[in-house]
Amino acid sequence: MLSSRYLHLHEALGLGPMWLQQGAQVLPPPNNNRPADNHPPAADTSSAAAAPTPAHHSNKSAHARQAVMAAVGGETKAPPATPAPSAKTAPSAVAAPIPIDTLSPATLPTALAQCQRCDLHRQRRQPLPGHGSLQAKLLVISPNPAPEDDMAAQLFSGEAGVLLHNMLAAIHIDPAAVYFTSQVKCTPNATLQVNPTETAACTPFLQQQIAWLQPQAVLLLGQSFQQMAPDTLAELLQQRPYVIVPHPARLLRQHQLKAEAWQALQKLVPMLSA
């Protein structure tokens, strides 16, 4: 007895005709629960004569080879298709803004980094919350960081900062005992100027800083503070005494203003010794 699977394999491999002995019986392949059209037809032995007869020769087509491999159980199945990723993805969690009136010196930098209250967050490299002593008697406020401050990641960098420190030292104030900040925390790198909407959006952060520090006096730098009404300034500074001088960057360009700045600085001395 000869398995028909062996006959089909012999044909598919192109080994030529197979000669069978007279009276040889060919067993049909087992069913194996496969679909009927996947099995090759069983070899026809009804016409076997007394003399040996060659079996039917395959044309070695790809279809025949696949049929043989299926008959002997060697067919391979394509791996299941990987499902395409879903077009909908869960939105990433966005941290809720920290309420400004609950901010502390430790949480202010994070809150400013998340802040999108105005368009300046698109222009800045990073917000600059300020720096200095949290026990400072004197608070120094600039209108906004300069582009060089944004590059250096610190307020009052460069020559303007050196001049400011020299001005404070001239009235016997140690810069290490001062807190330095700005009303607007982001640099207007594109527009170069801060508009009233941006100032109003950022002012609550400054008011929270003043509430922490409780300074005895405030030194305001720049013309923008000179243009504010006294009542508005008093509310902003929470009724603390203040002095306004030209910004150090302007003093570097207009030396004739230094005498005016010196007279104003001297008014700070009694405010801080009270």
Q: What is the distance between the alpha carbons of residues 102 and 95, in angstroms, rounded to a whole number?
A: 16
Q: How confident is the model at residue 2 (pLDDT cuts 50, 70, 90)?
A: low
pLDDT at position 49 over 90: no
Cα–Cα distances in angstroms (integers) from residue 6 to residues 38, 63, 172, in the given order: 16, 17, 107
3-state secondary structure of 177: helix
State whether the Cα torsion 141-145-149-154 is positive or negative.
positive
In a domain, 95, yes or no: no
Q: What is the distance between the alpha carbons of residues 60 and 262, in angstroms, rounded to a whole number?
A: 105
Q: How confident is the model at residue 101 (pLDDT cuts 50, 70, 90)?
A: confident
Q: What is the distance between the alpha carbons of residues 75 and 99, in angstroms, rounded to a whole number?
A: 67
- Res 111: pLDDT: 94
Q: Higher model confidence: residue 4 or residue 116? A: 116
Considering the domain architecture, whether residues 167 and 263 belong to the same structural domain is answered as yes
What CATH number is attached to the domain comprising 252? 3.40.470.10
In a domain, 28, yes or no: yes
In a domain, 91, yes or no: no
Mention every residue, 6+ apart, whose C-beta is less than 8 A from residue 120. Answer: 184, 186, 187, 188, 194, 198, 202
pLDDT at position 210 over 90: yes
Q: What is the mean pLDDT of residues 124-130?
A: 93
Q: Please give the share of the chain, as a percent, with pLDDT higher than 70.
A: 65
> What pLDDT digit, counting tens, does each position of 229-268 carry?
999 999 999 999 999 999 999 999 999 999 999 999 999 9
Range in 40-44, 134-138, 180-184 with the lowest mean pLDDT: 40-44
- Res 19: pLDDT: 56
H or E segment at 58?
none
Q: What is the 3-state secondary structure of 91-156?
A: CCCCCCCCCHHHCCCCCHHHHHHHCCCCHHHHCCCCCCCCEECCCCCEEEEECCCCHHHHHHCCCC
In a domain, 78, yes or no: no
- Res 51: pLDDT: 44
Neighbours of 225 (CB within 10 A): 22
- Report which of 49, 40, 32 is spatially closest to residue 12, judged by C-alpha positions: 40
Considering the domain architecture, whether residues 141 and 41 belong to the same structural domain is answered as no
Q: What is the distance between the alpha carbons of residues 79 and 16, in angstroms, rounded to a whole number?
A: 34
| pTM of the predicted protein model | 0.65
Q: How confident is the model at residue 218 (pLDDT cuts 50, 70, 90)?
A: very high
Could you tell me if 126 and 114 are in contact, meaning their C-beta atoms sit under 8 angstroms apart? no
Considering the domain architecture, whether residues 140 and 264 belong to the same structural domain is answered as yes
3-state secondary structure of 265: helix
- Res 59: pLDDT: 47
Q: What is the distance between the alpha carbons of residues 83 and 9, in angstroms, rounded to a whole number?
A: 36
List the domain range (segments joined by +) for residue 196.
100-273
User: Six-digit token pair at 161?
Assistant: 């900062």
Considering the domain architecture, whether residues 187 and 231 belong to the same structural domain is answered as yes
pLDDT at position 47 over 50: no
Considering the domain architecture, whether residues 159 and 251 belong to the same structural domain is answered as yes
Considering the domain architecture, whether residues 110 and 66 belong to the same structural domain is answered as no
Considering the domain architecture, whether residues 53 and 139 belong to the same structural domain is answered as no
Number of separate domains in the chain:
2
